[in-house]
Amino acid sequence: MTKINFSDEYFMRQALNEAQIAFQKDEIPVGAVVVCNKQIISRAHNLTETLNDVTAHAEMLAITAAAEFLGGKYLNECTLYVTLEPCTMCAGALSWSQIGNITFGASDDKRGFLRHTPPIIHPKTIIKKGILELECSDIVKNFFKNKR
């Protein structure tokens, strides 16, 4: 039996797999997983085009599915892994969910939540960034390169 190393890279790789599925669906390739006690309790990718709905970001769908799994809407004990820095909408939702940790891959200087003051996320939420940054960034760049 292969022992799995439940590192940040392991879970971000799962989020990247979701982003890859989005890419194949011609969606902006962003993926997310929510982890609780080293277990992935939800997975999602961006579906704004498929669902014709601006609210269908990977993070939003992952938050809703995680709450459904847990039977409670607060995610204090959970970590969200997402390939791209969340936007203000998703950060607002993460704030309402009281999520414990947000770990993202690539920064989004234009649409990311970190540029806003006062901070959108609760100060107790631990934010980590730069996990598999290059891969998380490249998949988005490649998507838009193909569009030109």
Is 63 one of the binding residues for its own copies (CB under 8 A)? yes
**Of 8, 36, 92, 135, which lies in the binding site for its own copies, with binding defined by CB under 8 A?**
92
| 23, containing H or E segment | helix 8-24
DSSP category for residue 48: T
90 is in an annotated binding site: yes
Is position 85 annotated as part of the catalytic site? no
78 is in an annotated binding site: no
Is 93 one of the binding residues for its own copies (CB under 8 A)? yes
Identify residues 118-137 at the interface with its own copies (CB under 8 A). Answer: 118, 120
Non-local CB neighbours of 34 within 8 Å, separated by 6+ positions: 40, 41, 42, 62, 63, 65, 66, 75, 78, 79, 80, 81
Identify residues 25-54 at the interface with its own copies (CB under 8 A). Answer: 48, 52-54
Is 72 one of the binding residues for its own copies (CB under 8 A)? yes
Parallel, antiparallel or unpaired: strands 39-45 and 31-36: antiparallel
Is 68 one of the binding residues for its own copies (CB under 8 A)? yes
Q: Which of 64, 116, 70 is nearest to 91 (CA)?
A: 116
**Amino acid identity, residue 10?**
Y
Binding site for its own copies (CB under 8 A): 48, 52-55, 60, 63-64, 67-68, 71-74, 87-93, 95-97, 115-118, 120
Question: Which segments are annotated as binding site for Zn(2+)?
Answer: 57, 87, 90
